[in-house]
Structure 1
Amino acid sequence: MARIARALLAGALSLTTLISCTPTPEPTTAVLESAEAPVAEVPPSVSPAEARVPQDLRAKVASLMVVGVANYEQARAALDQGAGGLIIPSWADPALLHEPGRDLNALRAEYGGYGRPFSVAIDFEGGRVQRHTHVLGDFMPPRVLAGTPPEVIQGTGYDIGVALRAHGINVDYAPVVDLDLVGLEIVGDRALGSDPAEVVRVAGLFSQGLIDAAVTPTFKHFPGHGRASGDTHHQLAVTPPIEELRAADTAPYGPLLARFPQASVMMGHMIVPGLVPAGWNPADFGVGIPSSLNPEAYRILREGDYPGGVPFNGVVVTDDLSGMRGILDYAPTPEAVKRAIGAGADQALWSSGADLPHIIDVVVAAVEAGEIPIERVDEAATRVQQQLIDVGL
């Protein structure tokens, strides 16, 4: 299976090379303006990732947005607005994955040729969470995969990665590292198990396979959805207090992030009692706010402030800010995007992709008003660019 997958990858890379050598279509006005902008001299102390961050504030903010697109036209419109990432939802036209000249690889050849690299992500765990299987392949549920030999686990990660990368996708929102401790249905066979050490073992093998195929794995959902009161797709959900999560649910993250610092982490929407940001009055905090909007959740992750934790300087992406009641019952998408970036998210994700120009403007206004420090936007944009560099984009 691995030999076949490697052959497919080689073919895909050859196809990408051929595409990049063919004449590209005339760029849109937005792309042309970006291409014609004067290039500032880069100081020697600036990293390659920092050098790729747009200097214009609106373009910089736009590079933090990951939006759902249903077809080629929507993808072009999002890229013309400067979106730094696309997510391919289940309702997308599969032609976006394979139609020559109108697929993701064609868009990469066009926009990348004008200095506009972008990320493309998908939810592809195997089992009940895998998109467009008739194009990308059908794989066993993670819980079943966990019971197979190590070479099958890593080989499955590799085969998934090869299929994704061949079709223009460079980020997989997998594996799930939530612990299945109370039988929550939304977790179930998506989880690798209930023992943190076993979750680390299987997630590590699977993630290595993805990385070998030049696809970024994403560990989710920090700080742990396994014991939430419900499914954040359908309701506000509350976990046990943060000290209980520290004792178990966060355990997989330290070993995995130590081994895979180039991975990303998805911040969940769970409300965690006791997760109170510094300077906030607990008496005014109520039950709390979703972790995706909570600066303390990002601080704990960044500093590795949990047993076995390590500092993490990679990309943190939010869970969906448009399609889940666990966030929409708390804040509308434009407000949630603004607050998530201000709290510490590097990428704000919303699967509907709606209102992208307006939401960019909302965040820009927040930066100009001092609600979000420009340094927060700069560090996020740099991490996004570094992740693209890490997978050769």
Structure 2
Amino acid sequence: MRFFHSGAVVVALTAALAAGCAGPGDAPADPPASSAASPMTTAPASSLEAPPTKTTPEELRALAASLMVVGVTDYDDALVKLRQGVGGIFITSWADPAILTEPGRDIAALREAVGRDFSVSIDFEGGRVQRHSSVLGEFPSPREMADTMSPQETEDLALRMGRSLRERGITIDFAPVLDVDSAGLEVVGDRSFGTEPQCAAQYAAAFARGLHAAGVKPVFKHFPGHGAASGDTHKGAAVTPPIERLSHLDLRGYGPALADSRGAGVMVGHLVVPGLSSGDVPSSIDPAVYGLLRSGAYPQGVPFGGTVYTDDLSGMRAITERLSTAEAVAQAVVAGADRALWSSGEAVGEAIDKVVAAVADGRLTEERLRASAGVL
């Protein structure tokens, strides 16, 4: 089934989202005033401009590595991975908390040692998914937020959460969950803000705004929706309802949430989506799914030009039962991911080799690599 973008303006989407579920004592906010964009001018290119130089093998490998976000266990492990050129590190649940707390061996020390910028990400949703809460603090689950707080109170809580993360050097939070808890899956449950798309989107957007205000990039997950899947992608392959039905469930919240949030990314899950997916291919390695996200060609959708991340490519059997980590990384980038994430941190060199090979055999262009590298 083909979906067509409705063309509704952002203000209308925001208003629709706000009407979805009113939290305690929360009234819909007035839409923000729009401002006219200032015209851009382009200087004429000089006729004497030198032709572009050919990318060297070293530059190509550096570009490939910059799209990789890998799990680390401690300062020393992170230093090794960063010196291999990866664009970001992921603070796993099993990492030594000293990487967040010990002067001289923390994130600030890593930045000084490496001498370049890189992202630092974590899973921190509140509730049962809040890594290193002994350092970063304890926060309620998303469901508890939606049940007991207004959207504004949720935004304020996420601001406090984001400040705690940022204080420790974390720049990206793989949250909020935008899945709708419509099937009672344990893997979703109270990680979801609610059982209705409008409610989930309203609260997820509020949470994202709080993180963004704290200087932490929020990442909505798990596109196109895990809430009504046949199982848990950590444990094996999982299939969503057909795209026609999914468009009225989890997928319906993405347009309003993205329209009501600034600077957010999106994480693509490992779901198989009948009517959209290419056979039994998981979403994270399927060009059709990335195309849908980019185009916004789904009900209430908006085109998305921000950063697209994969779900974990090394710790979830929906992927590991069919591909090696390095091959999964390459296939995800070829499919359309801007950042390939894997928690094990294994096989960085092999993953770089695989992405470079995809350029060599024509499955991936240097231009696409550069475009993804430039998306923040």
Q: Does 1:186 align with 2:215?
A: no
* Residue matched to 1:356: 348
Aligned equivalents of 1:382 and 1:151: distance in 2? 33
The change in CA–CA distance for 1:230 and 1:44 in structure 2 (over 3 A counts) is farther
Unaligned runs of 5+ in 2: 1-42, 46-54
Question: What TM-score comes out, normalization by structure 2 length?
Answer: 0.83
Alignment deviations for residues 290-315 of structure 1 (CA, whole Å, 9 cap, x no partner): 00011000000000010010110000
The change in CA–CA distance for 1:98 and 1:219 in structure 2 (over 3 A counts) is same
2:205 touches 2:258 (CA, 8 Å); kept in 1?
A: no
Identity of aligned residues (%): 54
Higher deviation after alignment, 338-347 or 248-257: 248-257
Q: Does 1:61 align with 2:64?
A: yes
1:261 touches 1:314 (CA, 8 Å); kept in 2?
A: no
Q: 2:368 is matched with which residue: 359, 369, 376?
A: 376
Give the structure with the larger helix fraction. 1
Q: Does 1:304 align with 2:305?
A: no
* Residue matched to 1:200: 201
Residues 95-110 of structure 1: pairs in structure 2 closer than 5 A: 95-110=98-113
Please state how far the C-alpha of 1:261 moved relative to its aligned partner.
Answer: 4.6
* Residue matched to 1:144: 144
Letter in structure 2 aligned against 1:191: S
Alignment deviations for residues 292-340 of structure 1 (CA, whole Å, 9 cap, x no partner): 0110000000000100101100000000000000111121211111100
Alignment deviations for residues 229-273 of structure 1 (CA, whole Å, 9 cap, x no partner): 100001111111111111222111101112225210000001111
Please state how far the C-alpha of 1:80 moved relative to its aligned partner.
Answer: 0.3
Please state how far the C-alpha of 1:183 moved relative to its aligned partner.
Answer: 0.5
* Residue matched to 1:123: 123
Residues 190-339 of structure 1: pairs in structure 2 closer than 5 A: 190-276=191-277, 285=279, 288-339=280-331
Aligned equivalents of 1:240 and 1:152: distance in 2? 33
* Residue matched to 2:87: 84
Letter in structure 1 aligned against 2:252: A
Aligned equivalents of 1:171 and 1:150: distance in 2? 21
Unaligned runs of 5+ in 1: 1-42, 46-52, 278-284, 388-393
2:325 touches 2:347 (CA, 8 Å); kept in 1?
A: no
1:261 touches 1:313 (CA, 8 Å); kept in 2?
A: no
RMSD: 1.8
Please state how far the C-alpha of 1:149 moved relative to its aligned partner.
Answer: 2.9
Q: 1:340 is matched with which residue: 320, 332, 338?
A: 332
Please state how far the C-alpha of 1:276 moved relative to its aligned partner.
Answer: 4.2
Please state how far the C-alpha of 1:216 moved relative to its aligned partner.
Answer: 0.5
Letter in structure 1 aligned against 2:187: I
- Tell me, what secondary structure is at the counterpart of 2:217? coil
> How many residues align structurally?
323
Aligned equivalents of 1:251 and 1:240: distance in 2? 13
Alignment deviations for residues 17-37 of structure 1 (CA, whole Å, 9 cap, x no partner): xxxxxxxxxxxxxxxxxxxxx
The change in CA–CA distance for 1:44 and 1:358 in structure 2 (over 3 A counts) is farther
Letter in structure 2 aligned against 1:102: R
Aligned equivalents of 1:142 and 1:205: distance in 2? 11
Please state how far the C-alpha of 1:44 moved relative to its aligned partner.
Answer: 9.6
Q: Extract structure 1 runs of 4+ deviating beyond 3 A.
A: none
Letter in structure 1 aligned against 2:313: L
- Tell me, what secondary structure is at the counterpart of 2:257? helix
Please state how far the C-alpha of 1:199 moved relative to its aligned partner.
Answer: 1.1
Alignment deviations for residues 86-127 of structure 1 (CA, whole Å, 9 cap, x no partner): 10000000000010011011212343xx4x210010000011
Please state how far the C-alpha of 1:152 moved relative to its aligned partner.
Answer: 2.5
Question: What TM-score comes out, normalization by structure 1 length?
Answer: 0.79
* Residue matched to 1:13: none
Aligned equivalents of 1:243 and 1:331: distance in 2? 29
- Tell me, what secondary structure is at the counterpart of 2:212? helix
Aligned equivalents of 2:189 and 2:120: distance in 1? 27
Letter in structure 2 aligned against 1:360: I
The change in CA–CA distance for 1:205 and 1:106 in structure 2 (over 3 A counts) is same
The change in CA–CA distance for 1:78 and 1:360 in structure 2 (over 3 A counts) is same
Aligned equivalents of 2:337 and 2:179: distance in 1? 20
Residues 22-61 of structure 1: pairs in structure 2 closer than 5 A: 56-61=59-64
